[in-house]
């Protein structure tokens, strides 16, 4: 999105625009749609509460709505669920791994680029970042999300540049991932 402020043209990355839009979206508007079973509204309502975007933070309420969206197959909600489980468990059980891979496969099938990358690492036996197939579109999406402050995108941007052997950018993105 382009924005003109004080005579200067600024480019606002899409993830920041999404968060600003979400911040000003009334809870009541999302709540009606979420209660009606709208997975996108459930996901957005979950994010509002989890990230305190225009509301007081409420982990339980945010998790409840995010889980409902994931249960309906919402790609981003599935990806975030899989990432949370992957990062929260040092030694996941085989059943946990199977669940995570199922969520990632569904999100990947729906075109979620980061879910596809993580799925390749976990399911297809690609154990290192250099084994993951990264294309220009993936890097563009990851970098746009990373600029918006998405720590997971920072991590995967680092992975992408590992494959390209650009270790200066690897260090930059890994440092940004650690900060978020």
Expressed as residue numbers, the domain containing 117 is: 93-179
User: 100 phi and psi, to 5 degrees?
Assistant: -60, -45
- For 65, the token pair is 């709505």
**Of the ranges 40-44, 142-146, 174-178, which is most confident?**
40-44
pLDDT of residue 123: 61
User: 58 phi and psi, to 5 degrees?
Assistant: -145, 95
Q: Report the number of distinct structural domains present in the chain.
A: 2
Within a domain: 12: yes
Q: Cα angle at 105 between 104 and 107, to 5 degrees? A: 65
**71 alpha-carbon distance from chain centroid:** 17
Pairing of strands 2-5, 8-11: antiparallel
Within a domain: 80: no
User: For residue 117, is pLDDT > 50?
Assistant: yes
Percent of the chain with pLDDT over 90: 23
Smallest CA-to-CA distance from 46 within 70, 24, 18 is with: 70
State whether 175 and 102 are in the same domain: yes
- The mean pLDDT of 13-32, rounded to a whole number, is 79
- What kind and span of H or E run contains 27? helix 27-35
Q: Which of 30-44, 49-63, 82-96, 166-180 has the lowest mean pLDDT?
A: 166-180
- What kind and span of H or E run contains 3? strand 2-5
State whether 14 and 61 are in the same domain: yes
Q: Which of 72, 103, 128 is the last residue of a domain?
A: 72
Within a domain: 86: no
Q: What is the pLDDT of residues 49-108, one digit of tens each?
A: 988 888 899 999 999 999 999 999 999 999 888 888 776 666 667 788 788 888 988 998
């Amino acid at each position: 999105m382009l924005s003109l402020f004080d005579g200067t043209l600024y480019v606002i990355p899409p993830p920041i625009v999404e968060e600003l839009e979400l911040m000003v979206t009334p809870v009541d508007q999302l709540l009606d749609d979420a209660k009606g079973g709208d997975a996108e509204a459930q996901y957005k309502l979950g994010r509002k509460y989890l990230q305190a975007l225009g509301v007081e933070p409420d982990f339980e309420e945010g998790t409840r709505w995010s889980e409902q969206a994931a249960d309906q197959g919402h790609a981003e909600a599935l990806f975030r669920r899989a990432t949370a489980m992957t990062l929260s468990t040092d030694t996941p059980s085989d059943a946990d791994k199977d669940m995570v891979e199922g969520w990632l496969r569904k999100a990947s099938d729906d075109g979620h680029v980061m879910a596809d990358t993580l799925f390749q690492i976990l399911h297809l036996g690609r154990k290192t970042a250099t084994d993951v197939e990264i294309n220009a579109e993936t890097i563009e999406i990851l970098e746009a999300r990373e600029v918006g402050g998405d720590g997971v995108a920072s991590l995967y941007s680092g992975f992408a540049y590992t494959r390209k052997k650009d270790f200066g950018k690897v260090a930059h993105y890994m440092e940004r991932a650690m900060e978020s």
